Structure 1
Amino acid sequence: MVKKTGQPAYLQIADDLRKQVHGGSLAPGSLLPSTAQLAEQYDASLSVVKMAVGILRNEGLLIGQQGKGVFVQDQEPSESEQLPAMDLVSEVMELRTAVQDLSERLARVESTLSERSDR
């Protein structure tokens, strides 16, 4: 049941399902109840339940199989598949710096080519 705590319902549902997965009541490989069943269980809309399940799929705890349902992932993603948020932030910053550097270099090359063609 979703409570009026100020926390969005989809996060409450995701937290509860996550606890069930980590606690073992939703075992690896087990089929998650249908979206309709979860919506009834949590007294929430289908879209709220879908958002909660989507969060857990993005975290790698659940995996969907077309036409079969959503299952608890058999194993935790390996460390190489998980990138902590700070690694992602630093990677984006490095990419931005590299793009800016390449843009500046391209501008210099274009300027040099323009000067040569003017001669």
Structure 2
Amino acid sequence: MVKKTGRPGYLQIADELRERIRGGLLAPGEALPSTARLAEQFDASLSVVKMAMGILRNEGLVVGQQGKGVFVREDDQSEQSEQDADLRAEVTALRSAVQDLTRRLEQVEAALPAADRKAGA
């Protein structure tokens, strides 16, 4: 049931379903209850449940199959490990680029006062 905590209901539902998936209560490949059933279970509107399901889809925890329902995503550890490695490499490259740009910006800013003095003379 969605609680009146100030936290949006769709986030509470997503949290609960995420816990069930990670805790093994919903196994990989298992179908989640229908949107209507979840709305009834959580005492929430269909749109709130759909928003929660969208979050879980974006996180890659569930996949929808047209006309069949929403299922807990099958674990493919090798694919996930490869994606994690790719993301780590991308984050490392981005950090390096930001550090380089920061250093270059500092050099430009340090040169500006000197250029202003020369222009005024």
- 1:1-119 matches, within 5 Å, as 1-75=1-75, 78-82=80-84, 83=87, 87=91, 90=94
Normalised by the size of structure 1, how large is the TM-score? 0.69
Q: Determine the C-alpha separation between the residues in 2 that align with 1:51 and 1:81.
A: 25
Q: Determine the C-alpha separation between the residues in 1 that align with 2:7 and 2:70.
A: 25
What letter corresponds to residue 78 of structure 1 in structure 2?
Answer: Q
Q: Determine the C-alpha separation between the residues in 2 that align with 1:79 and 1:57.
A: 19
Normalised by the size of structure 2, how large is the TM-score? 0.68
Q: Determine the C-alpha separation between the residues in 2 that align with 1:80 and 1:57.
A: 19
Aligned alpha-carbon RMSD (Å): 2.5
Runs of 4+ in 1 over 6 A off after TM superposition: none
Query: What 5-or-longer segments of structure 1 have no aligned partner?
Result: 98-119
Identity of aligned residues (%): 64
